[in-house]
Amino acid sequence: MMNKFEFDINEIGENGLHIKSEQAPDFLNDISNSLFCVENIKFNSNLFIDANIYKDQKQIVLNGSLSLKYVSPCSRCLTDVNLQINPELNLILVPNNEDVFEFENDTVVSSYSGSTIDITDYLSEMVSVSFPAKILCDQDCKGLCSDCGVDLNMDSCNCKENWISPDFAVLKNYKN
């Protein structure tokens, strides 16, 4: 049985081939060991792709989009945040005996051999480069108090009020 993210180049007709596919994101577990530190990320939807594929001479061009929902803790207050990545897919596949030229835009160039093309690895890579560097529940998230751990978005504490800077403490002693 064919993988859901695999297609046969013979299926690409005159008008191209439209693929719409989804799969449980289990196969992405491998990327936790690669480019990104994603141990705090929990995927909570299937990975969807919607793409158009056409032939341009010997090249195969794929354009489309990917979507995947996930949950990850806010890096300041640790509340779970629901997020979605939605990168564009722009892939050019060149027969592996041909020269691969560099492209200046976001297009990824890869090679293929035979008639079956599996884009699973490409999709994993697109997912791993699409995570934001920092996850925040809100740009203005106040985070947790570093002393008592209270969530400063929900509550307040007296830690800052009771805190006396060393300089001020000296001043206070001097006055007394």
Site residues for Zn ion per CB under 5 A: 74, 76-77, 137, 141, 145, 147-148, 157, 159
Judged by phi (left if over 0) then psi (alpha if -120 to 50, else beta), residue 78 lies in left
Least CB distance to Zn ion at residue 10 (A): 50
Question: Least separation, in Å, of the C-beta of 70 and Zn ion?
Answer: 16
Alpha-helical (H) ranges within the chain are: 120-130, 159-162, 166-175
End-to-end CA distance of the chain: 84
Q: Rounded to the nearest whole angstrom, what is the least distance from the CB of residue 161 to Zn ion in the complex?
A: 9
> Kind of pairing, strands 42-43 and 59-73?
antiparallel
Nearer to Zn ion, 31 or 74 (CB): 74
In the complex with Zn ion, the residue whose CB is nearer, 163 or 174, is: 163
The residue (of 149 and 168) whose beta carbon lies closer to Zn ion is 149
